[in-house]
Structure 1
Amino acid sequence: MFRYFIGLAGGWEFFGIVTTVLLGVGGVGYVGATWLMHFISIEQYVSAALLVVTVTIFSGLAALRIPAAQYFFFGSVAVIGTAFLSGAIGVLLP
């Protein structure tokens, strides 16, 4: 019986981690896409291209498990998540 509860708790922990990561990546995507649309609307195409390249490179390096990129990526996920949860998302958006 004890093993069953431990297994169940491990499953919930895994679900929580996966959900947090997916929501964090979605948050980074949302903020990045909002800034991209803002740069395109004010015709700053170089800034838009730079944003796309930067986000793509850091996301790719984080997926390859390079420590510095992971710190940057998950740090930005934490900041974006905190802003969403505290209602201060207007600070991060244009």
Structure 2
Amino acid sequence: MTYEEYLQGDVIISVQAIEELLACAIEDYGVNHSRIKRMDREEIAFSVKVDAPATSLHTLYHHVRQQLGLQLGNDVVSYVQFVAR
């Protein structure tokens, strides 16, 4: 497995597709984001700047993890960090 792709069986998912899914899950929650940054080249991990109060980050995190788990499986994205602006 390279850092640019996640390989599971016969399915290859690009990191860009994972970033787009992450962006859609954030916007589906009703929050705007200004940046998604890949954090680690060995794992699939992201830092996201969002326009949201810090008090809503916990529920946003759970919503996004649920959506990523439904679409990709629970073991694909290892880490997501939200930073409120």
Normalised by the length of structure 2, the TM-score is: 0.35
Using CA pairs under 8 Å that are at least 6 residues apart, name the structure with larger relative contact order, 1 or 2: 1
The structure richer in helix per residue is: 1
The structure richer in strand per residue is: 2
Larger Rg: 1
